[in-house]
Amino acid sequence: MIKVMGFCNLHGNRSLGPLTDARPLGSTSFLGRYALMDFTLSNFSNSGIDKVGILVENRFRSITKHLGSTNVFNMNTKLGFQQILINEKTIGNPIYHHDLNNLRHNDWILLEHKPDVIVIAPSHILYVMDFKQVIDEHLKNKSDITLLYTHIRDGKKHFLDGEEVAIHDGFVSKMQPNQGMKDDLDVSMDTYIFSRQGLQHIFDKAKGLSATFGLKEVLKHLIHHDPKLVYAHAHTGYVRSFFDLGLYYDFSMEMLNYDLRKSVFLEDWPIYTVTNNTPPARYGPNAVVQNSMIANGAKIYGTVKNSIISRNVIIEEGARVENSIVFTNTHIGNDVHVSKAVIDKYCHIHHVKKLEGKDLPLYIRQGDHL
C-alpha cells in the first residue's frame, strides 16, 4: 500500500491586514464556524490521508488554540495525527525562514513515517479536492513532482500574489508571478504531489541554488531549466486564494449564495472543525433575519441582513447589522447600526452607534469596546 503524508503549508503567509496581526490565515475564522485551514485538513482526511504535518511560519498561538489536542481530523485516533511543525532554527532569521527549511529541519517526520507520496497544500487557497485521484494520476505518470493548477477568469484581481503557469504537453513549462495584466490565465494552486525522491531532489537542488529559496522559488528555477520535470494537473471548480481583507470579505459574502455553497459543502465531503458545544441559536420575538448565516450559540434580538454571524454573538434588540461579518463572542448593543464591517472576536459595540465601511469593509480589532 502506498503511504501518503500531507503537509498543510502556512508559510508565505498572506496578510489580511489587522485581521491577521495575531493569527495566521490558516486559523482565521470563516463563515462563522470554520478556520480556513479546516478545508485543507478536511481534504486530507476525506482523501484518506490522516498523517499530517502543519508547517507553521509564525503566530503559533492561534494555531495551537484551534488544533489543540483534538482528534477531529483523524480517521484512526492512534494512527492519525496533525503534527505542528515549527522551524526553531530559522525563526529569528526571516530570509531563511521558509517552508523548505521547515520541512528539511523537521525531516524526522519523513524518516519516522517513510511516506511514498507527499502532498503539500496551502491554507490560504480554498478548494475541495479528492487527492486520491491526483495521487493515482501521479503514480500512473511515474511522476516525481505534480503541480495542481486551475484556470481563472478574474486574474486582474484574483491570485495577485500567485504564480501564472504555462502548460505544455502535460508539463508545467513555465512559472512566473501573476502580473495582474489579464483576467484569463492558468495559476498554480501552490499544491504539489511529490514522490519521496522528488522531494529529496528538491532538497538536494535547493542547496546549490540559494539557502533563501522556498519551495516555490526552487520549483520555479527547476522548471525553467527542465520543462519536463513537473507534471501538471488541472483542477476545475471552486478555488479561492485569500490575499487581502477585501477578498476575504467577498469570498465570505458570496457563500450566502445557495448554489455556490452547495458546490463547496458537498454531502459526501464534510468539512471538519473543532466543536465548541454551543447550544442552538436563539431568535428573539422581534428578530428580523434575512439572507444570513448564523452559527450556534448566537442570540439574535435585532435585525441581521446579508451577514455572517459567528458563535455566541449577541445582537440586541434595535441593533441592525447589514452586509457584515461578526466574529465569535462579539456583542452588538441596542440601536447600533453596522454596515459593511468585519468585527473581530470579543468586541462590545455600545457607545458608537454607527459603523460603516465604504469600498473596503471597516475592520474592528479583537476585544475592542466602542
Interface characters, 14-33, with other proteins (x: CB under 8 A):
-----------------xxx
Element (H, E) at 165: strand 163-168
Say whether residue 270 binds other proteins (CB under 8 A).
Answer: yes
Other CB atoms within 10 A of residue 226 CB? 11
CA 96, 102, 103: angle at the middle one, nearest 5? 130
Query: Does residue 93 bind other proteins (CB under 8 A)?
Result: no
Interhelix angle 215-225/196-209, rounded to 10 degrees, is 90
Q: How many residues bind other proteins (CB under 8 A)?
A: 32
Give dist(CA 55, CA 6) in Å, integer: 10
Name which of 86 and 294 has its Cβ closer to other proteins.
294
Q: Judged by CB under 8 A, which of 271, 315, 342, 343 binds other proteins?
A: 271
Site for other proteins, residues 170 to 229, rule: CB under 8 A? none
Q: Which is nearer to other proteins, 155 or 297 (CB)?
A: 297
* 38/99 with CB nearer other proteins: 38
Exactly one of 280, 351, 358, 359 binds other proteins (CB under 8 A); that residue is: 280
Other CB atoms within a 10 A radius of the CB of residue 264 amount to 17
β-sheet with 362-364: strand ranges across: 308-309, 325-326, 341-343, 362-364
Q: Is 68 in the site for other proteins (CB under 8 A)?
A: no
H-type helices in 20-175, by residue range? Answer: 37-46, 60-67, 99-105, 108-113, 131-140
Q: Which residue has the cell 447600526?
A: 337
Q: Which is nearer to other proteins, 17 or 270 (CB)?
A: 270
Report the site for other proteins in 240-259 (rule: CB under 8 A).
Answer: 256, 258
Q: How far is the CB of 292 from other proteins (least distance, A)?
A: 5
295 binds other proteins (CB under 8 A): yes
Cα→Cα distances 196→8, 64, 168, 193, 289, Å: 17, 28, 25, 10, 52
Written as one letter, the residue type at 264 is V
CB of 230 to other proteins, least distance (A): 35
Residues in CB range of 264: below 8 A, 6 or more apart = 126, 128, 238, 255
**CB of residue 275 to other proteins, shortest distance in Å:** 4
Q: Is 52 in the site for other proteins (CB under 8 A)?
A: no
- For position 283 contacting other proteins by CB under 8 A, the verdict is yes
Burial class from Cβ neighbours inside 10 Å (0-12, 13-18, 19+) for residue 356 reads middle
Give least dist CB 297 to other proteins, A. Answer: 9
Under the binding rule (CB under 8 A), the answer on residue 289 touching other proteins is yes
33 vs 337, beta carbon nearer other proteins: 33
Interacting stretch for other proteins, rule CB under 8 A, among 211-219, 267-275, 343-351, 360-368?
267-275
Which positions ≥6 away from 320 have C-beta within 8 Å? 302, 303, 305, 336, 337, 338
Classified as helix, coil or strand, 57 is coil
Report if residue 59 touches other proteins, rule: CB under 8 A. Answer: no
Beta bridge pairs of residue 362: 341
Q: Does 293 bind other proteins (CB under 8 A)?
A: yes
| Residue numbers 306-325 binding other proteins by CB under 8 A | 308
Q: Which is nearer to other proteins, 212 or 278 (CB)?
A: 278
Based on the shown chain and the rule CB under 8 A, indicate whether residue 113 belongs to the binding site for other proteins.
no
Instruction: Kindly list the residues in this chain that would bind other proteins in the complex (CB under 8 A).
Output: 31-33, 256, 258, 261, 265, 270-273, 275, 277-287, 289-296, 308
